[in-house]
Amino acid sequence: MLEYSGRRGEIRWSDQTLLPMRPIKQFSGTVSCWYCDFKFSALNEPLFRFGRRHSRSLRAWFSIGVVFSLAALLGVTLIILCELVRTTLVCAGNTSTGNSLFGLASVIGGLHISLPNMVYLCLSSVICVFVHELGHALAAASEGVHVEYVAIFLAVLFPGALVAFNHSSLQALPVVASLRIYCAGIWHNAAFCVGCALALVLLPFIFSPFYIHGESLMVLDVPSMSPLYGYLSRHDVIFSLDGIRIHTTEEWKQTITMLTEQTYSLSSDQPSVNLNVENGYCIHQSLTKEIAQVQFKGNQTYCPNELIAFASMTCLDVEKYTNNANRNNHQRRENIHCLDAKDVIKLKKCAYPNFKEQDLTNGSSCLCSEVESCLAPMQLPGLGWVEITYSSLECHSRRRSLFSPEKHSSSEQISCLQTFVYVGDLITMANSIHLTSYQPRWTIYFMAYLPNLLEKLFTYAFHVSMVLALLNSLPVFFLDGEYILEATLHCFGSLNSRMRQSVRRCCLLVGTSFSACFILQTIFVSVS
């Protein structure tokens, strides 16, 4: 959401205005083919009284904002110039593609917007624009300038808001005072970003009387299109992935990324069919005789229904597998069988990570008995294998209550954990369900969603407020940067009026062109 700050009263050294100045009622509006707005002046007097009452502290506050905004204007402009130079060199083939300088593009295009999240985006945009305009209004009130009205508008397809000031009152102000008004919006957005970041950090402590944070993940929703639909349900608690304990959503993402990298590493070693030696299981030989053999079509293996192909492995060569680089190179297969994964994962493991020193005595490297075979799943390239351990929230809550510090250690243990196997694209699987790091202390289900709602709102508000601050820091037509630049040029007494206007117009043209190119480049990279 772009905010147009073309405030009629903010153009201090020009009589040209975007909108006509005229007295308005407490509520009024304007409608045309390209522009419509809603104006209200009900807050004028309360804001003015508050600003005059606390004028000294507000001036000190907004003076800090002037320093920050001028530094932001210079810094963001230099970053965009460097980004454009880097992009030009990449296109010319003179340098390799890399991440965006200082991560500025990720700040602007870092939110992947889906239809359900549009509500968070719209709400956070309204809040951030209100914070921005409140800064302008309070800064003006502290300088004794009356606000004429506040307007919410839609210009073509771009929504925004503005605060209209009395033009003659602004003309009478010193340059520093007008700078405090122009920079107030950027400064408030930056301060609001800090507030959102602190809120995200403090949420676990604020919710600690009612929620447990960072113990395990809880499922908020499993859409019908998710590959985990039918396996997980709302309010289930996820404990681990492939035996790796998961506590927060960040750990979930990191673990999925690690497992995905391992899958692609395995695929690169053997591009046709892969034997996942890290997930081998000891299966009784009588069971392998009763189950269906794998079907072959060309070089590919097929199993009926939802069965998975497993290949038997000979006793592992200890010297070979002590070298991590060779762990995935075991390709010797004897018999291939179609097995039900949910039954197999209950058996004893015989994979490399499960070896212990006591298991390797007497020169033996076999973890399975003489009547068992070590079978490992066969995976197609790019398809991951992951064991997901979970329980229901009710059972988990009872277990937590039973083993609370007030209870004796000899209390009867309740077994809640269940495990199933997912075989497929791990990134798609991870993004298909909605998780939270918070669990309610009581099984009151409607409470489960509040922390996640606030986390999303604060996250979106942080990004939107940062984008508003960055965009308004740029020397671009109709944004705050235009008026900050104009006021700053008046500090240079050596420039006459014509030279100031020429420098101003040149900077705005260059800044608008470069900023438009950078934003289009960021959008293109995000989409592609």
**Beta strand ranges found along 324-462 (DSSP E):** 336-339, 372-379, 384-391, 418-424, 434-440
**In angstroms, rounded to a whole number, what is the distance separating the alpha carbons of residues 50 and 44?**
10
- What six digits make up the tokens of 499? 């030279």
**DSSP at 523:** H
C-beta separation of 168 from 9 below 8 A: no
- What six digits make up the tokens of 346? 């209950």
C-beta separation of 18 from 6 below 8 A: yes
Residue 162: CB atoms within 10 Å: 27
C-beta separation of 4 from 175 below 8 A: no
Q: What values do phi and psi take at 116, rounded to 5? A: -65, -30
Biggest distance spanned by C-alpha atoms of the chain: 97
Classify residue 16 as exposed, middle or buried by CB count within 10 Å of its CB (0-12, 13-18, 19+): exposed
Which residue, among 264, 260, 237, 241, has the nearest Cα to 252 in the 3D structure? 241
C-beta separation of 140 from 181 below 8 A: yes
**In angstroms, rounded to a whole number, what is the distance separating the alpha carbons of residues 43 and 31?**
23
Q: Which residues of 23-37 are buried (b: 16+ CB within 10 A; e: fewer)?
A: ebeeeeeeeeeeeeb
Which residue, among 279, 283, 403, 293, has the nearest Cα to 337 in the 3D structure? 293
Q: Is 133 considered catalytic here?
A: yes
**In angstroms, rounded to a whole number, what is the distance separating the alpha carbons of residues 479 and 472?**
5
Which member of 3, 83, 133, 148 is catalytic?
A: 133
The three-class DSSP label of residue 476 is coil
- Residue where the block lists tokens 């942080």: 462
DSSP 136-152: HHHHHHHTTPPEEEEEE
Name the β-bridge partners of 22: none
Which residue, among 229, 324, 232, 335, has the nearest Cα to 275 in the 3D structure? 335
Q: Which helix (H) or strand (E) holds 216?
A: strand 211-221
Which residue, among 393, 413, 392, has the nearest Cα to 402 in the 3D structure? 413
CA distances from 476 to 489, 504, 513, 522 (A): 15, 10, 8, 17
Residue 524: CB atoms within 10 Å: 10
Active site residues: 133
